[in-house]
Amino acid sequence: MTVPSATGTSISTAICPFCTGNATRNHGVAVDESGSRFPLRQCGDCGTGFLSPPPSDAELTRAYATSYYGEGDTKFGGGIEGLRDFAAAGRARNLVSGLPGRARVLDVGCGDGRFLRWLGKQHTGLELHGIELPGPAAERAARVPGLVLHSGTLNTTNFEDASFDVISLVHVIEHLPDPAAALDRLVRWLGPGGKLFLAFPNFESWQATWFGTDWFHLDPPRHLTLVPPRSVIRRMQTSGLKLIHQRHWCPEQNLFGWIQSALNACDRHRNFLYERLKRNRGYHAERTIAPAVHLAAAAALTIPSLLLDAAAAAFRSGATVELTFQKSPSDHVS
């Protein structure tokens, strides 16, 4: 996960960071795990939600402390890691379809390198590149065979135009202070016929609408900008890319989103179950009975959440979405 710096941006906090529209309105106050409060605004033009004013560098540093990445060699325990692997393998299989024998791939904010690892397993002719800040996730990514790891952020890494056949941002765009500029840069890095894969929270989903500031995927202050899928699609089409696939059924993200959002609505300690699943036992360690209560509640909520999630996906209102775009084969770098 690439951590941005929210300071120093030229964009006014009253102006939408995605479309630069000024028809923004208050959308409540988001509260993080430490109890810090972050005012949230929404753009009346493109629908983007964003923290305004943006969090300070100190607040972001605290939010991305070691506990964010989980304890040990993996973020979660074995069962959850298995589900994440299953999901990553499926995405990788779909994305490598139709690629030539030799191809270059870039994963921005590659985290522990999981997605790149599965891409390499699905297509042995790939040259794998990842961008990640130094830290626990990058240390895990460095162990992925064949991965070329670029230490830093999107803004501190440079490639030639048309350098890659596939570029992916898996739950990264919401962490960026200027997502529009980031997407424009990636379009330049994408070669003719190349694919751009995006996965991110859906700010106009049923979950986001129903739970408001208790929504799990709101995740303040790490999620700086939450751009609706319709606005991302519009911008990418304006940039000459064609939407070739969209998916609203993402069980490993969306199902837990229903459960944790419901628990957040009932418990002032945000994301308590999520933190314990990451084995962050220091998070309100005094609550010795709460883990069992939250697990029992999660079990009771699983079936209703599955049904709601299936309905949301059918109406293209999943809590997170996956969009795949393709650049025209005739595009060339001038």
Distance, CA of 181 to CA of 89 (rounded, Å):
29
Mean per-residue pLDDT for 304-322?
96
Cα distances from 233 to residues 181, 229, 238, in angstroms, run 15, 6, 9
Burial class (CB in 10 A: 0-12, 13-18, 19+), 167: buried
* pTM as predicted: 0.89
pLDDT for residue 78: 62
Please, which pLDDT band fits residue 95 given cuts at 50, 70 and 90?
confident
**Element of type H or E holding 207:** helix 206-211
Please, which pLDDT band fits residue 73 given cuts at 50, 70 and 90?
low
Q: Which CATH code, of 3.40.50.1000, 3.40.50.150, 3.30.70.1520, 3.40.718.10, is assigned to 85-250+322-327? A: 3.40.50.150
**Element of type H or E holding 149:** strand 147-151
Asked whether 280 and 70 are in contact (CB, 8 A), the reply is yes
Choose among 67, 54, 69: nearest CA to 221.
Answer: 54
For 33, the 3-state DSSP assignment is coil
Least confident of 18-22, 133-137, 164-168: 133-137
Choose among 63, 98, 103, 22: nearest CA to 270.
Answer: 63
Asked whether 327 and 187 are in contact (CB, 8 A), the reply is yes
143-187 residue pLDDT tens = 988 999 999 888 889 999 999 999 999 999 999 999 999 999 999
Give domain limits for the chain: 85-250+322-327
β-pair type (320-327, 190-201): antiparallel
Asked whether 46 and 231 are in contact (CB, 8 A), the reply is yes
Mean pLDDT value across the chain: 89
Mean per-residue pLDDT for 295-302?
96
Distance, CA of 306 to CA of 82 (rounded, Å):
19
